[in-house]
Amino acid sequence: MQKRDTRRYSDITKPKINMMVEELTRDGAKIAGSNPWHIETIHHGVVLTAEWDEAASVLAVTVMRCNWYVPREKLWSSLDKMICHVQRLEIA
């Protein structure tokens, strides 16, 4: 069993959540649930869960699993970069 780890991202509003869900779906991800979400990407066996604390505007993302050849540091680097971009967006 692979190690699960979680990161938390601040400044995540409802419009940003909606945008991320739409983008992941367009990219082919299968998303189940509605806070928390179970996200099966089509890339390298990556499966995530995400839970949003609306009051704190914090999104917690957990890597549930990925293919053995995917370095965890590279996966988090990619997720951090994408979510950092979302954090900077001004969405009404």
- What the chain holds in terms of domains, given with CATH numbers, is 5-88 (3.30.310.200)
**Banded pLDDT at 2 (limits 50, 70, 90):** low
pLDDT at 7: 96
Mean of all residue pLDDT scores within the chain:
92
Q: What is the pTM of this model?
A: 0.90
DSSP-derived pairing of the beta strands 5-9 and 58-65: antiparallel
CA atoms within 13 A on the CB side of 60: 12
Share of the chain above pLDDT 70, in %: 96
Span 61-70, average pLDDT: 94
CA distance 34 to 50: 9
